Chains A and B, each alone.
Chain A
């Protein structure tokens, strides 16, 4: 959870002080809570930490069926990483992934905040609820259905092309056009998720003291100025946390949607690190060690970005993840 400088400093105990008796006594008091936590800890350990063991194959000449650690393990050090850096696909993959993520982030990050602020500022609360439901609904559409919808709308004989043809224009194969991939990918992702992402900000806005708005009204603030001076500062801690988390997952784009939208025509821009990992690790003659190395490299970039974002946020605001 987010950490607040003041809150944490207030909670600091004097050196040597304990909260209610001996460590053993405290442990005994915490027993019910620890028992309740146990299943969650177990699940996280089994599914999040144990598989990290598999990362070792990034440093091996690994073939399916080999032991990860055993007498015949062939360690190759950073060879798989060096191979990736020298791969002709390295820079195109980096560029494609980075551009798709950064454009998606620039458009997609502020959108839920704007929507949440706008819904909160609406006078008619019933209208706001209806709109919120409408905005949230697309989140529940599966990726396959979403890409199917894109095909129906933007396919050669889809709705958009029918309209273009109807007014005398040339039909365009959007799925074969490199230039159409990123806009279609990003806009459809944002359309699907902005309502869902706005929920957390709407929840934060519901905690804003109405007295602040009333004070601002008496101070002469317009509706927009109230959003700017009351609502926005109130959700800034939440925005900071979400920003850090978004930056931390910036390069972590999934392979599914890109793969579903991928065609020979747009392969030059739709081939991402994630799709490349999928193809290297699971299709053709699988090279799982190489795919793991690429995936690990991608994860390391994310961790570095997360640390940079967290440190920057800590330095300039009062909020940080750790």
Chain B
């Protein structure tokens, strides 16, 4: 068992700057959780508080059921992989990996066995006698991971471990981490600002902004059911299209979304959620993912400004009134002229429209009471 429980975790720096506001998170045993968000959102600070590298200003941190607020980092039974690798430059790869065990006074033969075993897993045996400067970025990162692995930690912390690698190597290492995770099967806390890493690696994703947790969910949940405008805009590539000046209408017991002059009758699950919330007609921001748009027919119109042919699909950048609309259309479905300057009609399925309250930015369908409580400060921050 190696679960992590974070209760109302808070970080206030000298001078009163609050970097992390009341974070609540339960990370189950062997779960891979990813903290994602833009720079300065507090994800690294949260991780560093778990590591013990930052003092906890408020709240409680439990690792494996033990309150760890004042426990020394070395006694927390955690290991961390840093963005800068943080390998000791004067030591060989072997010594880097063995350092923590040497300090623990583990017998030499045991250290040797462990280091070679981990080196074998990470395919770095041939580099054991080299110094870090003689390694490539990817190899250094493997060593950094190996250094963490030899300790058999309860929790693996990773602070943007792939950020220093080029795109190709990053993809490769991402796959390596997925394989590694299956192999060592322990609890992971992973920080990144890259949503692709978050979506591909995490069992669950914690999306943070300005020190607040905005949403916690599986990759599918945060993609399909974003609780507010920030999450909707942050997750997904290309970014979700937002249509301002839309309305939520109610005719009898039936809800409609009005985007421009088009009126969409909402799907059953949307009707149900809105009814449950007692939602009244209001101004909304409608969100539609670029992949959820179909062109050729429909109630909405746009002028194509840029046409990006990517082979299997085409990215269309169009203008619809004031709004810029991005559409991702599979090439096989393309039966209309989408050359630059062409006028196209487009539409989407009502069930794929995200409805955000214009006043609060919250999703009218997916923003439930529980997340409302957790995210109350978020909405305040959003509105500010």
A contact residues vs B (CB 8 Å cutoff) = 6, 209, 211-212, 214-221, 225, 229-230, 233-234, 236
Contacts and interface: CB of A to CB of B under 8 A. Distances in A.
A230 B88 contact: yes
Interface stretch (B78-86, B221-229, B270-278): B78-86
7 contacts: A211-B83, A214-B80, A218-B78, A219-B99, A219-B100, A220-B103, A221-B74
B86 A211 contact: yes
B104 A214 contact: no
B88 A217 contact: no
B44 to A, nearest CB: 12
Nearest to B104: A220
A217 B84 contact: no
B99 A229 contact: yes
A113 B104 CA distance: 28
B115 to A, nearest CB: 14
Given A215-B88, A233-B89, A233-B90, 17 more contacts: A211-B82, A211-B85, A214-B80, A214-B82, A214-B86, A215-B87, A215-B147, A217-B52, A218-B79, A218-B80, A219-B99, A219-B103, A220-B74, A220-B100, A221-B74, A229-B99, A236-B90
What 7 A-B pairs come out closest when comparing CB atoms? A220-B74, A211-B86, A233-B90, A219-B100, A215-B86, A220-B103, A211-B84
B86 A217 contact: no
Interface in B83-112: 83-90, 99-100, 103-104
Contacts of B79: 218
B100 A212 contact: no
A233 B79 CA distance: 23
B88 A218 contact: no
Interface residues of B, number: 23
B189 interface: no
A interface secondary structure, majority: helix
A265 to B, nearest CB: 50
Task: Among A211, A218, A220, A221, find the residue whose CB has the most chain B CB atoms closer than 10 A.
Answer: A218
Contacts of B87: 215
Contact of A218 (B51, B85, B133): B51
B73 interface: yes
Task: Among A219, A229, A233, find the residue whose CB has the most chain B CB atoms closer than 10 A.
Answer: A219
B53 interface: yes
Task: Among A209, A214, A217, A229, find the residue whose CB has the most chain B CB atoms closer than 10 A.
Answer: A214
Contacts of A221: 74, 99, 103
A212 B86 contact: yes
Contacts of B83: 211
Contacts of B99: 216, 219, 221, 229
Contacts of B53: 214, 217-218
B72 to A, nearest CB: 8
A316 to B, nearest CB: 14
B90 A218 contact: no
A238 to B, nearest CB: 13
Nearest to A6: B133
A214 B86 CA distance: 8
Nearest to A211: B86
A113 to B, nearest CB: 16
A217 B73 contact: yes
B88 A233 contact: yes
A123 to B, nearest CB: 13
A198 B21 CA distance: 42
A218 B73 contact: yes
A202 B86 CA distance: 21
Nearest to B80: A218
B86 A229 contact: no
A234 B79 CA distance: 23
A229 B73 CA distance: 18
Nearest to B53: A214
A209 to B, nearest CB: 6
B84 A209 contact: yes
Contact of A212 (B51, B52, B88, B104): B88
Contacts of A218: 51-53, 73-74, 78-80, 100
B90 A215 contact: no
A263 to B, nearest CB: 49
Interface in B52-92: 52-53, 73-74, 78-80, 82-90
A229 B90 CA distance: 9
B146 to A, nearest CB: 13
Contacts of B84: 209, 211
A5 to B, nearest CB: 11
B361 to A, nearest CB: 36
A34 B52 CA distance: 53
A230 B89 CA distance: 9
Nearest to B133: A6
Interface in B180-225: none
Given A229-B88, A230-B88, A233-B90, A215 B82 contact: yes
